[in-house]
């Protein structure tokens, strides 16, 4: 399994780092890809992540999943990048390719003409900026398996978003192992208590 996460200026760092970390814990090969011509990417809160590759050096067909983190500024940059839009369209039209978008980044799926065909969610305050076939307000992670698209609401849902990607790519057993190692069941039990 091979994953790609797209980073542009002003991406939401929590969402990017959580996804990268959790997928690597699940032994999923994830490439960090910069979309703007410099390997050093600076997020919305001035945290720099050095990407593995530039988008111009990547072929989308080589990936099982393409992931877009949120952040309004990062999402705006992704939406305005024709290479990103083309990559997402290509990934969506492939038989085996998944897409995962969190927080504000389903707005990129809207620009690519994908959101209109899926069941999905987005950061709640931005729900009026995306047209979904079916908008789901009360789920923090939505996996539209019919269309191979996973969406999630925002920074606090990033672990669950990443774990759903793991479940989809590696199965329930690996999902459960990684969740347990991250103490997710312990946190959920404490919150319910």
Residue 193 to residue 169: CA distance in whole angstroms: 32
Give exposure, 49-79, as e/b (b: 16+ Cβ within 10 Å): bebeeebeebebeebbbbbbbbbbbbbbbbb
Catalytic, 25? Answer no
- One of 103, 122, 130, 149 is an active-site residue; which one? 103
What is the gyration radius of the CA atoms in the chain, in angstroms? 15
Other CB atoms within a 10 A radius of the CB of residue 156 amount to 12
Residues designated catalytic: 103
């Amino acid at each position: 399994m091979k994953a790609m996460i797209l980073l542009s200026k002003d991406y939401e760092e929590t969402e990017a780092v959580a996804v990268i970390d959790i997928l690597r814990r699940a032994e999923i090969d994830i490439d960090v890809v910069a979309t703007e011509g410099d390997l050093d990417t600076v997020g919305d809160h001035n945290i720099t992540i050095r990407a593995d590759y530039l988008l111009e050096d990547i072929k989308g067909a080589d990936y099982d999943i393409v992931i877009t983190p949120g952040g309004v500024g990062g999402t705006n940059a992704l939406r305005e990048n024709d290479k990103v839009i083309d990559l997402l369209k290509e990934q969506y039209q492939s038989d085996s390719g998944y897409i995962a978008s969190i927080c504000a980044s389903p707005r990129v799926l809207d620009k690519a003409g994908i959101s209109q065909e899926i069941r999905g969610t987005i950061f709640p305050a931005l729900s009026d900026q995306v047209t979904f076939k079916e908008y789901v307000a009360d789920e923090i992670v939505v996996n539209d398996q019919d269309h191979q698209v996973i969406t999630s609401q925002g920074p606090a849902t990033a672990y669950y978003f990443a774990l759903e990607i793991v479940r989809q790519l590696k199965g329930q057993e690996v999902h459960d192992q990684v969740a347990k190692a991250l103490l997710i069941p312990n946190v959920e039990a404490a919150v319910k208590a």
